[in-house]
Amino acid sequence: MDETQRPELTIVVPAYNEAARLPRTLAQIDTFIVNANLTAELLVVDDGSSDDTCRIASQHESTAACYSVLSLPHRGKASAVRGGMLAATGQYVLFTDADLSTPIDYATKLVDALDQGADVAIGSREGIGATRVGEPAYRHVMGRVFNAVVRILALPGIEDTQCGFKAFRRAAAQDIFARTILHAGDDPVRGPRVTGFDVEVLFIARQAGYTIAEVPVYWEHVAGSKVQPLPDSFRMFADVLRVRWNAVRGHYT
């Protein structure tokens, strides 16, 4: 594609069994694109949903963006995000959770950080200017303990690796996601699969010398979360250890 013809922004929405809230989410994203006066691409990645997610996504007609649906076998969010980020054509590429727990309007703040020179801009629910609303206490404790481990073992200085709202320059996204190893196989999975793939993505970005900007955002807990406290916690901790082991073996260079 001619660089002058690329959309300014691709918005990637990974979706697993999101039939109930996807219509509202897509409508809000369309409204944002119009109000922001962007040339944009909107890409829904169906992660092998067992409900009507794929049908509803396919029937959506966007007048605001170049719109498409990528349908993949169910392999979890990491695989869905990776597929969408590598398929994106925009100059900047952002992925957001389908529940829009961070309002899509905050994409402007991430784009501003990229405009100012960052290669990667990540939404942060920690620090001055960030707001968390309605988060169950157990989830907050889980998150802070996990992030403390992440800072010690993999990413010192980054306060929030797990917010599902991140943007990249296209070249950086192509490079980083092509190098990811965790959850990139062909084996199908059962049920929702919450993982620590964000840690791997940011570890690769930092190791490759990309500039990472943390941007304070508003985040609201939305009912219907797919987080399963115990199994997801063990899986995410294991992922951090696997990132360190992969790095020791030189798999990210």
The CATH number given to whatever domain includes residue 124 is: 3.90.550.10
Percentages helix, strand, coil for the chain (3-state, rounded to 5) are 40, 20, 40
How many C-beta atoms surround the C-beta of residue 148 within 10 A? 10
pLDDT number for residue 243: 96
CA distance to 74, 78, 170, 244, per residue, from 37 (Å): 34, 30, 20, 42
pLDDT number for residue 245: 95
* Radius of gyration of the chain measured on its C-alpha atoms: 17
Q: Is residue 198 part of a domain?
A: yes
pLDDT number for residue 186: 73
- Prediction pTM value: 0.94
pLDDT number for residue 225: 62
Q: Is residue 253 part of a domain?
A: no
CA distance to 64, 142, 180, per residue, from 81 (Å): 22, 23, 11
Nearest-angstrom CA–CA distance, 171 and 181: 18
Given a contact cutoff of 8 angstroms between Cβ atoms, the answer to whether 219 and 130 are in contact is yes
pLDDT number for residue 217: 98
pLDDT number for residue 247: 94
Amino acid, res. 34 = V
Nearest-angstrom CA–CA distance, 14 and 83: 9
The pairing of strands 66-72 and 40-47 is parallel
pLDDT number for residue 198: 96
**What domain count does the chain have?**
1
pLDDT in tens, the chain (253 residues): 767 789 999 999 999 999 999 999 999 999 999 999 999 999 999 999 999 999 999 999 998 999 999 999 999 999 999 999 999 999 999 999 999 999 999 999 999 999 999 999 999 999 899 999 998 887 888 888 889 999 999 999 999 999 999 999 999 999 999 999 998 877 777 777 778 899 999 999 999 999 999 999 999 998 766 666 667 788 889 999 999 999 999 999 8
Task: Please classify residue 127 by burial: count the beta carbons closer than 10 Å to its beta carbon, then call 0-12 exposed, 13-18 middle and 19+ buried.
Answer: exposed
Taking each helix axis as running N to C, give the angle between helix 229-248 and helix 197-207, from 0 to 180 degrees, rounded to the nearest 10. 30
Q: What angle do CA 51, 52, 57 make, to 5 degrees?
A: 135
- Which tokens hold the place of 64? 């605001």
- Which tokens hold the place of 202? 């940011």
Supply the range of the domain harboring residue 221.
3-248
pLDDT number for residue 136: 83
CA distance to 97, 126, 143, 210, 232, per residue, from 137 (Å): 21, 15, 10, 34, 16
Given a contact cutoff of 8 angstroms between Cβ atoms, the answer to whether 205 and 172 are in contact is yes
pLDDT number for residue 228: 65
pLDDT number for residue 127: 87
Given a contact cutoff of 8 angstroms between Cβ atoms, the answer to whether 131 and 48 are in contact is no
pLDDT number for residue 91: 97
pLDDT number for residue 108: 98
What is the Cβ-side half-sphere exposure of residue 164, based on CA atoms within 13 angstroms?
24
